[in-house]
Amino acid sequence: MEATVQQFPPYRETAAPHGHDDHGHHEPNFWSKYIFSTDHKVIGIQYGFMALCFMLFGFFLMLMMRWQIAHPGVPVPVFGPLLEKILGQPAAHGAISPELYNSFGAMHGTIMIFLGVVPLAFAAFGNYVVPLMIGAPDMAFPRINMASFHAFFLGGVVMLVSFFIPGGAAQAGWTSYSPLATTIPTNGQVFWLVGMVLLITSSLLGAVNFIATIIQLRAPGMTWMRLPWFVWAQFVTAFILLLAFPPLEAAGVLQLMDNVAHTSFFLPTGLAVGGQLADRSGGGSPLLWQHLFWFLGHPEVYVLILPAMGIVVEVIANNTRKPIWGYKSLVYSVLFVGFMSFLVWAHHMFLTGMGQKIATFFQATTMIISIPSVIILTCMLLSLWGGSIRINTPMLFALGFLPMFGIGGLTGLPLGLAVCDVYLHDTYYIIAHFHYVVAPGTIFALFAGIYFWFPKMTGRKMNEFWGRVHFWCSFAFMNIVFMPMFVQGIKGMLRRMSDGGINYSAARVPNAIDALPGSVMQLNGVILWAAVCLGIAQIPFIINLFWSISHGEKVGTNPWRATTLDWQTPTPPPHGNFAHEPHVARGPYEYSVPGAAEDFTPQDAPADKTSTAPNAH
């Protein structure tokens, strides 16, 4: 079928007993169509676009930091004068001062996680794809959906504005440990907290909406065990956001009070700042912040990874042309991961002097949670076995995800054991560990998703050749960036040092500390240039993305010949999504069913067409 923007009548229009619909009946103008839209697909694209912009910005901050690490105190080429012009003193002479380095570090983490990956993986893909996959006309609460995006947007604005206030943006890391976060003399932290409260609000509204949608709006016949696994992953993610974020919101409010109303929730008695006793009542507990933060912080990493895994499963099933291996194991694993992710948080705090009983508990839960993660990865790998694999750009990224996530996950295990973690904590090993999961892991999966669903959004494919260039270059440079960090970390190089460890490496105390060898320092240069190349490797992607919207190869509604409902709609799907309410007759991955007319059987194809096929599950 040729891709035309056909306006099918949304399927419930005639039968509507409660005839008011606050949107969509009048001619939509620019504002109601793109800014105040309640259509889940538009909101998904809004999220996606914003998130990609933020990720680009976060990447830029990282480049500045990597320059500073590799060449401490040397003015940044090209961007240095610009930084000085915009930010003034902290970027004097175009070089990055330690304070600015701290700001960039804190904001890089915050932006990448809360304004980049979560909005893209959860909000953008979830919004666009989930209602389509379950056969719903929209989200359960379209206006709350819009409010969620607006809260996200405002939160982003607050975060960005904080760069320009006196003293600059937050400097206490994305983890914002107290008392540091309260004693640094800048209001950046206040902006950070207000921004976070907005972002948390956005996530909560989104989570409520997703869960209600998945529970309530599944099309007839779409039973739980017929849900595409992507939907399961988003479902669990939404629950994690719903229940893990509020304690951080509580902590954020308390820290806000510490910063604005000068309370001492997280400030201990006798706190001295700059050699002077702070004018505080004291009596608070810095560790309490860490507990509340990591109660979100650990589940948050699953928020980063689960939607990505969902995308990978969809892409793999589609491109191996066979049912995903172990659908049920996948479902139970993701439920179990979601549950356990609430009970492992203190493995980030082994060095806070915790006792052995509690440390043992958290080591045990950490080891337990890695089991379902491994099951998920194993199912993905086994799905490749015996498939007639179609290699295209989405599949390349999905395949790239597998070893990258494998490395990231396996290097997490030593961190989960206190004995090793005492040594590795706060070194570059940690940086390497979680970037392997999030950068070449999650972000590769997100790229796979973009290449995969682009034809649904636009009716055109992205350019295949440049997609492959994008993949192979990204794959190579990602590894050159992050692999050396394992080495640096094992050698003892600490994270969050604005001079990249120079001072530390010079501080050779005979018979006590063995300083960092020069080779470790030299790796900083390698990483810098690999990161620059990684940035350049994204240019083909950016051009490809925009170019293909109007010039890509035109394709039909179901170019990948996929089974799930998102591909059984007109392209792009109109407001209301389906021409007729879909009736789901089978499981999500009926590829190459023996005896079937084609090598894929859509979930909503009438049952008699495939009467010879055994029913799924």
Residue nearest ligand HEM, CB atom distance: 412
Shorter beta-carbon distance to ligand HEM: residue 148 or 411: 411
Q: From the list Cu ion, ligand HEM, other proteins, none, which binds 413 (C-beta under 5 to 8 Å, kind-based)? A: ligand HEM
Q: Does 36 bind other proteins (CB under 8 A)?
A: no
Q: Where are the alpha helices (DSSP H) in 459-599?
A: 464-490, 502-506, 518-537, 539-551
Window 266-305: contact mask with ligand HEM (x via CB under 6 A): -----------------------------------x--xx
CB of 253 to other proteins, least distance (A): 7
Residue count at the site for Cu ion (CB under 5 A)?
1
Window 355-394: contact mask with other proteins (x via CB under 8 A): xxxx--x---------------------------------
> CA of 73: how far to CAs of 35, 78, 90, 163, in Å?
43, 15, 12, 20
Q: From the list other proteins, ligand HEM, Cu ion, none, which binds 409 (C-beta under 5 to 8 Å, kind-based)? A: ligand HEM
Q: Tell me which amino acid residue 105 is.
A: G
What is the SS3 assignment for 405?
helix
Window 340-359: contact mask with other proteins (x via CB under 8 A): --xx--x--x---xxxxxx-
Shorter beta-carbon distance to other proteins: residue 274 or 355: 355
CB of 245 to ligand HEM, least distance (A): 16
What span, in angstroms and rounded, lies between the C-alpha atoms of 313 and 311?
A: 5
Q: Does 248 bind other proteins (CB under 8 A)?
A: yes
What single string gives the DSSP state of each residue in 214-226?
Answer: HHH-PPTT--GGG
Query: Which residues neighbour 288 within 8 Å (Cβ) at sequence distance 6 or greater?
Result: 251, 265, 266
- Tell the burial category of 242 from Cβ atoms under 10 Å away from its Cβ (0-12, 13-18, 19+): middle
Q: Does 120 bind other proteins (CB under 8 A)?
A: no
Q: Which residues of 301-329 are buried (b: 16+ CB within 10 A; e: fewer)?
A: bbbbbbbbbbbbbbbbbbbbbbbbbbbee
Can you say whether residue 289 is alpha, beta or left, with left for phi > 0 and alpha for psi between -120 and 50 degrees? alpha
- Looking at 142-150, 433-441, 516-524, 593-601, which segment touches ligand HEM (CB under 6 A)? 433-441
Q: Does 553 bind other proteins (CB under 8 A)?
A: no
Residues in the chain: 617
CB of 413 to ligand HEM, least distance (A): 5
What is the SS3 assignment for 583?
coil
What span, in angstroms and rounded, lies between the C-alpha atoms of 510 and 507?
A: 9
What is the token pair recorded at 367? 């080891």
Q: From the list Cu ion, other proteins, ligand HEM, none, which binds 179 (C-beta under 5 to 8 Å, kind-based)? A: none
Q: Tell me which amino acid residue 26 is.
A: H
What single string gives the DSSP state of each residue in 6-59?
Answer: --PPPTTTTT-SS---SSSSSPP-HIIIIIS---HHHHHHHHHHHHHHHHHHHH
- Is residue 285 within 8 A of residue 266, CB to CB? The reply is yes
Window 264-303: contact mask with Cu ion (x via CB under 5 A): ----------------------------------x-----
Contact set for ligand HEM, span 189-208 (CB under 6 A): none
Q: Does 413 bind ligand HEM (CB under 6 A)?
A: yes
Dihedral over alpha carbons 280, 284, 287, 292 (to 10 degrees) = -110
Residue nearest Cu ion, CB atom distance: 298
CB of 139 to other proteins, least distance (A): 8
What span, in angstroms and rounded, lies between the C-alpha atoms of 293 and 175?
A: 7
Q: Does 265 bind other proteins (CB under 8 A)?
A: yes
CB of 415 to other proteins, least distance (A): 18
Q: Which of 33, 85, 93, 262 binds other proteins (CB under 8 A)?
A: 262
**Among residues 593, 592, 604, which one has the least CA distance to residue 567?**
604
Q: From the list other proteins, ligand HEM, Cu ion, none, which binds 254 (C-beta under 5 to 8 Å, kind-based)? A: other proteins
Q: Which of 44, 75, 142, 449 binds other proteins (CB under 8 A)?
A: 142
**Among residues 137, 118, 129, 123, which one has the least CA distance to residue 10?**
137
**Among residues 375, 176, 180, which one has the least CA distance to residue 271?**
180
Shorter beta-carbon distance to ligand HEM: residue 396 or 404: 404
Residues that bind ligand HEM (CB under 6 A): 175, 301, 304-305, 347-348, 366, 370, 373, 409, 412-413, 415-416, 421, 425, 430, 433-434, 437-438, 442
Contacts with other proteins, residue ranges (CB under 8 A)? 10, 12-13, 15-16, 18, 20-21, 24, 136-138, 140-142, 144, 204, 207-209, 211-212, 215-217, 239, 242-251, 253-254, 257, 261-265, 268-269, 280-281, 283-285, 287-288, 291-292, 295, 339, 342-343, 346, 349, 353-358, 361, 575-576
List of residues contacting Cu ion (CB under 5 A): 298
